[in-house]
């Protein structure tokens, strides 16, 4: 650990990095998995929602800029891991954020319209406006909305329940090696 | 998933790398061919689907190149600079589709093969790397997408003949499909039959759908490992496709497009 790196500030800066497309933090989205400091090196591990996510470069840039803002002397190593990403990786806060921005987090077995909470919804194929989204419309209120698509989703979303990974429980992600 | 918990006994790391590189090339070629349909197709939802599948094929290609040890610079050279004769694409992807039923046939067969190969490569690699599982899952979504089209086109007498014709021709071009992954010699020695068995099951399903007469016409190979892949040469459809890809670099060398990462 370096004397000059303000740990809390780094942790907060990383936690505040937002997804380029949806106003939700990468931490709440479950994309930011781990970060650790060894000497003057900060290692940040990210997992894309789908392997082909075209926003990976921008996410990486934002992570680097966030760290540079609070600890410019640190060398940042960003690692993209090809792990599974599922809706269970989204934090509770993240699910609320998604709903408030017109997304179904895809956690419950039943799809629900984020605008009227109706369950009479129709899926329009498996591919939406970007590779991590599935398009729906609501027969009750007529709204269109999208659900985030898991990297392991074939046609059905992951089911809720079971132990949550640390990033989805809001536990601190930054550790010192 | 049926991955072994440890790399297969006697797994040859270099052979696995060569296989991953060859399959990455196929994914790159097909992903690029697919991208041309984003604007050619009149249905908005289908354009989105084709665009997503194209991006995912390119991303899978990069994931495999990286795992085969290719650096960013080597990937860049491979795509933009190296002689096209270094590329030996499978016949199934070497001839881009020009009509929709043919793209459906090609996409359906290729995405099924991708699932088989990714599962096989996963069993030959570090079991802590779950990228192969993710690739199988993502390609499974592609299979289901294409399968819906197969069912729709086969279910309508107005479109059925054209799809049967395309599937017949595409099945006939699968003799070299698995060749870099399972060289014929290793198959003859019984090195690994899991991949062949899973691909054969997919082939049988395709054959059942088009009927015995079409299967006989296609002369569809059972093994998919005996055909020799041939390099891209001038005049090939893929040479034109690469010409378009490389034109960007030659006209604007100052633009640094990174190979999808």
Q: Which residues contact B37 (CB under 8 A, 6 or more apart)?
A: B47, B50, B54, B103
**Among candidates A46, A10, A59, which has minimal Cα distance to A176?**
A10
Range of the domain at B81: 13-251
- For residues B57 and B126, give the distance between their C-alpha atoms in angstroms, rounded to a whole number: 22
In a domain, B260, yes or no: no
**What tens digit of pLDDT does each residue of B76-98 get?**
999 999 999 999 999 999 999 99
Q: State whether A151 and B63 contact (CB < 8 Å).
A: no
In a domain, B154, yes or no: yes
In a domain, B8, yes or no: no
State which residue of chain B sits closest to A80, comparing Cα positions.
B261
pLDDT at A155 over 80: no
Section B42-65 average pLDDT: 92
Nearest to B131 among A53, A82, A124 (CB): A82
- For residues B193 and A1, give the distance between their C-alpha atoms in angstroms, rounded to a whole number: 51
> What is the set of domains in chain A, with CATH numbers?
7-86+159-176 (3.30.300.130), 87-148 (no CATH)
So what's the pLDDT on residue B43? 82
Q: From the CB of residue A11, how many other CB atoms can be counted at a distance below 10 Å? A: 16
**B216: pLDDT confidence band, cut at 50, 70 and 90?**
low
In a domain, B195, yes or no: yes
**Among candidates B231, B242, B244, B246, which has minimal Cα distance to B89?**
B231
Section A10-27 average pLDDT: 95
C-beta of residue B193 within 8 angstroms of C-beta of residue B103? no
- For residues B17 and A83, give the distance between their C-alpha atoms in angstroms, rounded to a whole number: 20
- For residues B127 and A165, give the distance between their C-alpha atoms in angstroms, rounded to a whole number: 20
pLDDT at B247 over 70: yes
Q: How many domains does chain B have?
A: 1
The more confident residue out of A166 and B179 is B179
Q: From the CB of residue B57, how many other CB atoms can be counted at a distance below 10 Å? A: 30
The more confident residue out of A160 and A49 is A49
The percentage of residues in chain A with a pLDDT greater than 90, rounded to a whole number, is: 70
Q: Which of A93-102, A163-172, B15-24, B222-231 has the lowest mean pLDDT?
A: A163-172
In a domain, B256, yes or no: no
In a domain, B7, yes or no: no
Q: In this structure, what CATH number is given to the domain that contains residue B147?
A: 1.20.1260.10
pLDDT at A145 over 50: yes
Q: From the CB of residue A39, how many other CB atoms can be counted at a distance below 10 Å? A: 12
| H helices present in chain A, as ranges | 7-15, 26-29, 56-70, 92-100
CA distance B141 to chain A (A): 5
Q: Count interface pairs A-B at CB distance under 8 A.
A: 75
The percentage of residues in chain A with a pLDDT greater than 70, rounded to a whole number, is: 83
So what's the pLDDT on residue A161? 37
| H helices present in chain B, as ranges | 13-35, 37-40, 44-67, 72-80, 91-94, 100-124, 131-154, 160-172, 184-188, 194-210, 212-218, 237-251
**Among candidates A93, A80, A4, which has minimal Cα distance to A40?**
A4
Burial of B69 (0-12, 13-18, 19+ CB in 10 A): exposed
**A129: pLDDT confidence band, cut at 50, 70 and 90?**
confident
- For residues B109 and A53, give the distance between their C-alpha atoms in angstroms, rounded to a whole number: 24
Section B52-74 average pLDDT: 93
**What tens digit of pLDDT does each residue of B142-195 get?**
999 999 999 999 999 999 999 999 999 998 899 888 888 877 676 666 666 778
**B7: pLDDT confidence band, cut at 50, 70 and 90?**
very low
Q: Which of A17-26, A124-133, B5-14, B176-185 has the lowest mean pLDDT?
A: B5-14
Section B63-75 average pLDDT: 92
Distance from the first to the final alpha carbon of chain A: 8
So what's the pLDDT on residue A154? 52
In a domain, B242, yes or no: yes
What SS3 class is residue A117? coil
Interface test with A, best of B41, B48, B62 (most A CBs within 10 A): B48
In a domain, B111, yes or no: yes
What SS3 class is residue B85? helix
pLDDT at B15 over 90: no
Q: Say yes or no: B84 contacts chain A, CB-CB below 8 A.
A: no
pLDDT at A23 over 70: yes
Q: Say yes or no: B129 contacts chain A, CB-CB below 8 A.
A: yes
Q: State whether A51 and B59 contact (CB < 8 Å).
A: yes
* Complex confidence, ipTM: 0.84
Q: Which of A2-11, B97-106, B116-125 has the lowest mean pLDDT?
A: A2-11
């Amino acid at each position: 650990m370096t004397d000059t790196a303000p740990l809390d500030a780094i942790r907060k800066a990383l936690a505040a990095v937002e997804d380029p497309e949806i106003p939700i933090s990468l931490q709440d989205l479950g994309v930011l998995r781990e970060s650790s400091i060894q000497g003057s090196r900060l290692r940040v591990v990210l997992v894309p929602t789908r392997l082909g996510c075209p926003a990976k470069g921008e996410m990486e840039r934002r992570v680097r800029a966030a760290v540079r803002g609070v600890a410019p002397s640190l060398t940042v190593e960003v690692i993209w891991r090809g792990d599974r990403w599922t809706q269970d990786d989204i934090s509770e806060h993240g699910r609320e954020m998604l709903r408030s921005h017109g997304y179904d987090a895809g956690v419950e077995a039943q799809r629900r319209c984020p605008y009227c909470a109706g369950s009479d919804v129709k899926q329009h194929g498996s591919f939406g406006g970007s590779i991590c989204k599935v398009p729906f419309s609501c027969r009750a209120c007529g709204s269109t909305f999208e659900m985030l698509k898991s990297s392991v989703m074939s046609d059905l979303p992951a089911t809720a329940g079971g132990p949550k990974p640390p990033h989805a429980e809001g536990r601190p992600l930054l550790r010192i090696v | 998933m049926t991955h072994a918990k440890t790399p297969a006994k006697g797994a040859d790391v270099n052979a696995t790398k060569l296989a991953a590189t060859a399959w990455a090339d196929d994914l790159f070629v097909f992903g690029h061919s697919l991208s041309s349909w984003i604007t050619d197709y009149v249905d908005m939802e289908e354009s989105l689907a084709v665009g997503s599948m194209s991006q995912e094929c390119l991303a899978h290609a990069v994931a495999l190149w990286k795992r085969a040890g290719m650096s960013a610079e080597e990937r860049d050279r491979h795509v933009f600079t190296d002689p096209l004769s270094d590329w030996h694409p499978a016949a199934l992807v070497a001839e881009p589709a020009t009509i929709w039923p043919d793209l459906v046939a090609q996409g359906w067969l290729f995405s099924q093969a991708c699932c088989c190969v990714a599962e096989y490569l996963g069993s030959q690699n570090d079991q802590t790397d779950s990228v192969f599982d993710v690739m199988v899952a993502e390609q499974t979504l592609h299979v289901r997408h294409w399968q819906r089209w197969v069912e729709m086109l086969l279910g309508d007498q107005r479109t059925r003949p054209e799809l049967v014709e395309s599937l017949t021709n595409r099945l006939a071009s699968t003799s070299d499909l698995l060749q870099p992954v399972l060289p014929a010699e290793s198959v003859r020695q019984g090195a690994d039959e899991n991949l062949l068995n899973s691909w054969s099951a997919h082939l049988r399903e395709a054959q059942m759908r088009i009927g015995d007469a079409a299967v006989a016409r296609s002369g569809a190979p059972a093994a998919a490992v005996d055909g020799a892949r041939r390099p891209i040469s001038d005049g090939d459809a893929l040479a034109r496709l690469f010409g378009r890809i490389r034109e960007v670099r030659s006209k604007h060398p100052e633009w640094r497009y990174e190979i999808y990462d």
